[in-house]
Amino acid sequence: MFKQSFKYYKSKNPPPNLDNVLDLNKSNDLTEFQIKKVSIKCEERKKMFGFKHPKTWEVYEIVDTPGSLLFIRNPFTSIGQRYWTVKCLQDYSKKPNKTNIDAFNLVPENKEWWEMCQNNNNVLLMNKLRWVTLGYHHNWDTKVYSEEDKGKFPKDLSDMTLYVASILGYTNFSPEAAIVNYYHMDSTLSGHTDHSEKDLEAPLFSFSFGQTAIFLLGGNTKDDKPTPIFIRSGDMVVMSKESRLAYHGVPKILQIDSRYWDPIDENDLCYIGKDYREVVNICKDDALWKPFGDYLTYSRININVRQVLSRGQKRLNSEDAEDVT
Ligand code: SIN
């Protein structure tokens, strides 16, 4: 069932009918699908990290899926969406973080990928970047983390995820690994489960920016019929417990929405925090922001943040590798 649905929504010719895709922007869909509105206690919270005030967040639980899957409808301000886009393109893509293009030696030691793309308007090089890994590096072959393959986890991404985790009541969460996926209009991500981390109780936080994706959310086997869901710029998905073992994937990226990262509201600028002013200055200057906005016109970025260590654990042991299949 998962494979058939994936093929259906991936198809260019004929294009898929989108009527059955769950759309959290449509009030009808909120009653027709198995969705529960979740209330969060956050009156006293400050607005931070490019988010709208948490009391305005719309949090939904997709009830039909195993475990717990939360969908938060774009809690980011425009400037917040721009901030994380700039970070993913200009900063997280830098060494020593790992990328899929490392293997091809396309970027000399003394150069940076984003700079090289900008200097020659090198669209070919720009479209080659498909993923970056941060913190404990995801091993795409073995799916096993190792203490020997680990970089520094970015402070701003850690602070932002901890803020979200505390608002949603995940007080023990620790951000230790992230994968940033870069999608272009013809990119897909095939069905998979997230089982590399030992503690499946710990949530996985997923943040998306740019063009809209059809996200397929299945069950514990590929025989279960998946639910297609639109994920738009700024939307956040939180998976925990059995939902992390549910098959999911992205069969299609669509240019169907307005630019949620435009225009910016000057009043939101102060809420990112003073440590991050340099990037905020790029976000609020139309000329400096332009190449990033151009990238988002034809692309989507997804950051997913995970906890690797079990509660109380300081480092991975060699036995951990044997436990993970
Ligand atoms: C993932 O499942 O790893 C990413 C999903 C997404 O791009 O929304």
* pLDDT greater than 80 at residue 204: yes
How far apart, in whole angstroms, are the C-alpha atoms of residue 234 and residue 132? 19
DSSP notation for 15-47: PPP-TTSB-TT-HHHHHHSSEEEE----TTPPP
pLDDT at position 78 is 94
How far apart, in whole angstroms, are the C-alpha atoms of residue 161 and residue 149? 22
* pLDDT greater than 60 at residue 22: yes
Spans of all domains in the chain: 2-306
Residue nearest to atom 2 of ligand 1 (CA): 249
* pLDDT greater than 70 at residue 270: no
The closest-lying atom of ligand 1 relative to the alpha carbon of residue 183 is: 7
Nearest Cα neighbor of 54 from 174, 167, 211 is 167
Distance 322 CA to ligand 1 centre (A): 26
Distance 177 CA to ligand 1 centre (A): 14
Q: In Å, what is the CA distance from 36 to each residue of 46, 118, 181?
A: 26, 44, 29
150-165 pLDDT, tens digit per residue, is 999 999 999 999 999 9
pLDDT at position 274 is 63
Distance 237 CA to ligand 1 centre (A): 9
Fold of 2-306: Jelly Rolls (2.60.120)
pLDDT at position 320 is 55
* pLDDT greater than 60 at residue 322: no
The helix (H) or strand (E) run that includes residue 322 is: helix 318-323
Residue nearest to atom 3 of ligand 1 (CA): 304
Over residues 215-230, the mean pLDDT reads 92
Q: Which residues pair with 210 in a beta bridge?
A: 300
Over residues 114-127, the mean pLDDT reads 91
43-76 pLDDT, tens digit per residue, is 656 667 789 988 899 999 988 777 778 999 999 9
Q: How many residues does the chain have?
A: 325
Distance 274 CA to ligand 1 centre (A): 30
Over residues 198-213, the mean pLDDT reads 92
Percent of the chain clearing pLDDT 90 (strictly above): 64
The closest-lying atom of ligand 1 relative to the alpha carbon of residue 192 is: 2
Distance 312 CA to ligand 1 centre (A): 28
Distance 287 CA to ligand 1 centre (A): 30
Per the model's pLDDT, the better-predicted residue between 256 and 272 turns out to be 256
Q: In Å, what is the CA distance from 212 to each residue of 26, 180, 183, 229?
A: 15, 16, 10, 10
Residue nearest to atom 6 of ligand 1 (CA): 302
Which of 14-18, 26-30, 303-307 shows the lowest per-residue confidence on average (mean pLDDT)? 26-30
Q: In Å, what is the CA distance from 106 to each residue of 115, 118, 127?
A: 13, 14, 12
pLDDT at position 94 is 96
Confidence band, pLDDT 50/70/90 cuts, at residue 272: low
Residue nearest to atom 8 of ligand 1 (CA): 302
Distance 305 CA to ligand 1 centre (A): 11
Percent of the chain clearing pLDDT 70 (strictly above): 92
Instruction: Tell me the pTM.
Output: 0.94
CB 187 within 8 A of CB 211: no
Distance 235 CA to ligand 1 centre (A): 12
> Please, which residues have CB within 8 angstroms of residue 180's CB and are 6 or more apart in sequence?
88, 92, 131, 132, 133, 134, 301, 302, 303
pLDDT at position 6 is 96
Nearest Cα neighbor of 166 from 308, 291, 42, 277 is 42
* pLDDT greater than 70 at residue 321: no
Q: Which of 187, 254, 304, 305 to mutate to test the pocket of ligand 1 (most atoms within 8 A of CB)?
A: 304
73-115 pLDDT, tens digit per residue, is 999 999 999 999 999 999 999 999 999 999 998 999 899 999 9
pLDDT at position 318 is 55
* pLDDT greater than 50 at residue 228: yes
Residue nearest to atom 7 of ligand 1 (CA): 302
* pLDDT greater than 90 at residue 266: no
The closest-lying atom of ligand 1 relative to the alpha carbon of residue 208 is: 8
Nearest Cα neighbor of 276 from 152, 116, 159 is 159
Distance 44 CA to ligand 1 centre (A): 32
Ligand 1 pocket, Cβ-based, cut-off 6 angstroms: 181, 189, 206, 208, 213, 215, 231, 248, 250, 302, 304
Confidence band, pLDDT 50/70/90 cuts, at residue 120: confident
